[in-house]
Chains A and B, each alone.
Chain A
Amino acid sequence: MASTALVILELVSAAISFILVRFMVKPYLWSNDSRYVGLPIGFTFLGVSYLFMGLTFYLKADPLADELKWVQLFTEVYAFAFLAMTYYFSGRELRPRRRLLWQFVFSALILAVIVTYFVIFEPFSSRFALPNYNLADRYISVFDIILATYVSLYTLRSHVSKPDAKTIYAPLGYIFLAFGEYSSIIWSLDSSFSALVGEYVIRLAGLSIFLFMSYQTFSARGPA
């Protein structure tokens, strides 16, 4: 019963993330600027990571669930890495040297994604000894929090520089995603029910904020 609820919550999170991709891709398509491509990629990875988490809850004792847990872990960290990278480069004019740096970071991330999945799945996984999952989960979640906090502070700075009630949604959404990660660490440490509920409530609240903001912007009649 509890695992069914977790599967549903993960699927709902994934569904919201995939709906958000439809909106997040627009800045890239309209500006034709490759720096913004990290936004839809980030939310796609976030959705895929929730989907994999749901699958691991569904499969439970199946050996495939162990591999999927690792995939989920790395997919989530790449999601936040793509988002952080997008924000880091979006505020800067791309002069030749910086453009080269952007291309290097973007290519390195893509390469890291490919290598990670090769390492996790057969036949390569047998050649690498993967560390303890719970320990890795904690460290990677801390890294997720750092990346999500960077994006939160970046968007918050942008809100503070030109205060507008409408620009508070993004920092709020990212802060909620960071707190969701924090709750997941607490849950992995003490297995408390409140931390588990907190993780899902905070995460869904964060994703809902993005969804609300996106619909509010694009469903407005005439210019928003």
Chain B
Amino acid sequence: MKKLARRDKMKIYRDILSVIQSTEKNEKIILTRIQQKTNVPFDRLKAYISELGELGLIQNESSPRLTEKGQQYLSEYEKVREFMKRMGLAYQGES
């Protein structure tokens, strides 16, 4: 069985934000759905959601929505990943 690479915090943030972003605007986001999609234990997910709220990347922690800052985070993250790829650097945080 292939061992999954260990994700760093930035990658976990990105995964959580991506799930929130991919959800329809009128759809209610429940944390268990984010947990299933990101494969993060529930207690840790709650801590991450709280951190993302404190950082201003999401709003309404019970049914989170991406803020403009959160959108910028995702965009910048993808750019840095693309830059590393173009620089020929392997990113160990990627699974």
Contacts and interface: CB of A to CB of B under 8 A. Distances in A.
Interface of A: 23, 26-27, 30-33, 36, 39, 86-87, 90-91, 93-94, 154-156, 158-159, 164, 166-167, 169-171, 213-214, 217-218, 220, 222-224
B84 interface: yes
Interface in B57-88: 74-80, 82-88
Contacts of A39: 87, 89
Contacts of A217: 79, 82-83, 86
Given A27-B80, A217-B82, A32 B8 contact: yes
Given A27-B80, A94-B92, A167-B86, 15 more contacts: A27-B84, A30-B10, A30-B77, A30-B80, A31-B80, A39-B89, A154-B88, A158-B90, A159-B88, A164-B85, A171-B88, A213-B86, A217-B86, A223-B74, A224-B83
Given A30-B10, A32-B8, A32-B9, A220 B79 contact: yes
17 contacts: A26-B80, A31-B8, A32-B9, A39-B87, A87-B88, A90-B89, A93-B5, A156-B88, A167-B85, A169-B86, A170-B86, A170-B87, A217-B79, A218-B83, A222-B75, A224-B82, A224-B83
B91 interface: yes
Contacts of B10: 30-32
Q: What's the interface size class on B, roughly? A: 20 to 34
B89 A87 contact: yes
A170 B88 CA distance: 7
Contacts of A222: 75
Contacts of A32: 8-10
Nearest to A210: B87
Contacts of B56: none
Nearest to A36: B89
A222 B75 CA distance: 5
Give chain A's interface secondary structure class.
helix
Given A32-B8, A94-B92, A223 B87 contact: no
B8 A158 contact: no
Contact of A224 (B5, B79, B88, B92): B79
B92 A93 contact: yes
Contacts of B82: 166, 217, 223-224
A167 B90 CA distance: 12
Contacts of A155: 87-88
A166 B84 CA distance: 11
B87 A33 contact: no
A31 B77 CA distance: 10
Contacts of B91: 27, 31
Nearest to A174: B88
B68 to A, nearest CB: 14
A-B pairs with the 5 shortest C-beta distances? A155-B88, A223-B78, A224-B82, A158-B88, A91-B90
Nearest to B71: A222
A33 B8 contact: yes
